[in-house]
Amino acid sequence: MTSRTYDVVGVGIGPFGLGLAALAEPLPDVDAVFLDQRAGFSWHPGMMLDGATIQVPFLADLVTMADPTSPYSFLAFLKATGRLYPFYVRESFYPLRSEYDQYCRWVADRLDSLRWGRRVVAVEHDTASDEYVVTAVRSGGPDDGERETYRARHVVLGVGTTPRLPAPLADLAGAWRAGQAGPGPVIHSAEYLPHRDALQAAGAITVVGSGQSAAEVYRDLLEDVHGSGGRVGYRLDWVTRSPRFFPMEYTKLTLEMTSPEYTDHYRSLPADLRDRLGREQRSLYKGISGDLVDDIYDTLYRLSALGRQVPTTLLTDTEVVAARHDAATGEHVLTLRHAQLGREVEHRTRAVVAATGYGAGVPEFLDPVRERLRLDARGRFDVTRDYSVDVADRIHTVGGEEHTHGVTAPDLGFGPWRSSVVLAKVTRREPYPVERGIAFQTFGLPGGTPGDDAPGHGSTGTGRVTTEAAR
């Protein structure tokens, strides 16, 4: 076991873990190491669609909102790669998704604190030293299977979220993966691109889901619905539980909800109310970009010009309640229920893309320290306002706190602010200024959020951020 004790051991190097690593790097009082099971940085490779852009402005990079002078900013990347003027001339706030991925790889290549090919399998607490001990297994390379341990004062969870399928589709996908449901893929959108050819070859595809990913997959497949380049056409259907194909809300007073103040307010509410609000606020970040909705309409219009039939059905208010494979016909049979009609129909298709979202959970590797975790009645992290998940305020999460903090959790633009709060905990100072208020509007009632009047006394669990740290 190594004798070195790190100030921070980060688990997961997606955008949020990488952002924390980039902000920790210049700090002389932070000795950090970040572990990831992957061989290198890779951002949503299954959805790296040509022409797709990120949904937030380029300022929402890994570091700028915390430190506009950072050498790891998106603008620094553009300058270093000779793309600053083309980006300037392009006059769009929204980088391509592939560009954002390249940018993150560029930053990752410049940080010494990253360790790839390490899957974290356990976090334990050493009572003698009051430190955490993180165990990782090497994956790939000559040391495949070797175990490594890292001692830590603080552990930061940047493990992201995992694809979620509704139960009926999860079973069918499992059967397909086991080779028991014919050739037509049944996959989550996270794996779309590697399966695109097989989907198109299946002859009939059904997309299930209501958000940006569902719309992007539908739009991508719609282009070749009549066949092209020697490939035959196919049927393409889109089924969503949502009452309509609703656009993401981008109006500025709504965007102010992606703020410290709204997060204070949201975090101060009872868990049941937060859960209800979370469902109601879907249009804030789980809708479809308005441009894409219109692009889909325009494509349908173009493809149906000159009297051509477009072999597609778009269904709203409709839920997949059952799914099976019909070996006799080679079809997947989905039972669809319409929410208003209350009626069910059988829908036959030959391939399914479930763009049904992602979910966070309490990683199993924390089982050895479960008694030290803050968990709510549903077994989820009861994340404090300043992102701690253990009783000692020394295990923190960056991402996955949607159920406690709301819309800011998955937002790339809010990553640097959250990292600044966590680094303030680690350093007992504010290496990066933590804005307490950015909005013109007041959330809740004038006079602030409960718990406000206890400044500087550790994490309150509710109310506003304090940066008083317990090292």
Ligand X SMILES: Cc1cc2nc3c(=O)[nH]c(=O)nc-3n(C[C@H](O)[C@H](O)[C@H](O)COP(=O)(O)OP(=O)(O)OC[C@H]3O[C@@H](n4cnc5c(N)ncnc54)[C@H](O)[C@@H]3O)c2cc1C
Phi, psi of 42 (to 5 degrees): -155, 115
Q: What minimum distance in Å lies between the beta carbon of 179 and ligand X?
A: 27
- Asked whether 202 and 181 are in contact (CB, 8 A), the reply is no
Q: What minimum distance in Å lies between the beta carbon of 410 and ligand X?
A: 4
Q: What minimum distance in Å lies between the beta carbon of 57 and ligand X?
A: 10
Looking at the Cβ atoms of 113 and 460, the one nearer to ligand X is 113
Q: What minimum distance in Å lies between the beta carbon of 207 and ligand X?
A: 14
Looking at the Cβ atoms of 246 and 414, the one nearer to ligand X is 414
Q: What minimum distance in Å lies between the beta carbon of 381 and ligand X?
A: 14
Cα gap 307→292, rounded to integer Å: 24
- Asked whether 104 and 41 are in contact (CB, 8 A), the reply is yes
Interacting residues toward ligand X by CB under 6 A: 11-17, 35-38, 44, 47, 54-56, 119-120, 158-160, 213, 365, 399, 410-412
CA dihedral sign, ordered 58, 19, 249, 320: positive
Looking at the Cβ atoms of 181 and 292, the one nearer to ligand X is 292
Closest by CA to 438, choosing from 260, 251, 249, is 260
Instruction: Let me know the angle formed at the C-alpha of 334 by 332 and 339, rounded to the nearest 5 degrees.
Output: 165
Phi, psi of 21 (to 5 degrees): -60, -40
Q: What minimum distance in Å lies between the beta carbon of 458 and ligand X?
A: 26
Q: What is the 3-state secondary structure (H, E, C) of the chain?
A: CCCCEEEEEEECCCHHHHHHHHHHCCCCCCCEEEEECCCCCCCCHHHCCCCCECCCCCCCCCCCCCCCCCCCCHHHHHHHCCCHHHHHHHCCCCCEHHHHHHHHHHHHCCCCCEEECEEEEEEEEECCCCEEEEEEEECCCCCCCCEEEEEEEEEEECCCCEECCCHHHHHHHHHHHCCCCCCCCEEEHHHHHHHHHHHHHHCEEEEECCCHHHHHHHHHHHCCCCCECCECCCEEEEECCCCCCCECCCCHHHHCCCCHHHHHHHHCCCHHHHHHHHHHCHHHHCCECHHHHHHHHHHHHHHCHHHCCCCEEEECCEEEEEEEEECCCCEEEEEEEECCCCCEEEEEECEEEECCCEECCCCHHHHHHHHHECECCCCCECCCCCCECECCCCEEECCCCHHHHHHHCCCHHHHHHHHHHHHHHHHCCCCCCCCCCCCCCCCCCCCCCCCCCCCCCCCCCCCCCCCCCCC
Looking at the Cβ atoms of 68 and 359, the one nearer to ligand X is 359
Looking at the Cβ atoms of 243 and 361, the one nearer to ligand X is 361
Q: What minimum distance in Å lies between the beta carbon of 121 and ligand X?
A: 7
Q: How many residues can be counted in the chain?
A: 471
Q: What minimum distance in Å lies between the beta carbon of 248 and ligand X?
A: 10
What's the Rg (C-alpha) of the chain?
A: 24
Looking at the Cβ atoms of 264 and 411, the one nearer to ligand X is 411
Q: What minimum distance in Å lies between the beta carbon of 455 and ligand X?
A: 30
Looking at the Cβ atoms of 30 and 52, the one nearer to ligand X is 52
Q: What minimum distance in Å lies between the beta carbon of 17 and ligand X?
A: 5
Q: What minimum distance in Å lies between the beta carbon of 358 and ligand X?
A: 6
Q: What minimum distance in Å lies between the beta carbon of 307 and ligand X?
A: 36
Looking at the Cβ atoms of 413 and 448, the one nearer to ligand X is 413
Looking at the Cβ atoms of 35 and 204, the one nearer to ligand X is 35
Looking at the Cβ atoms of 48 and 175, the one nearer to ligand X is 48
Looking at the Cβ atoms of 17 and 278, the one nearer to ligand X is 17
Looking at the Cβ atoms of 7 and 216, the one nearer to ligand X is 216
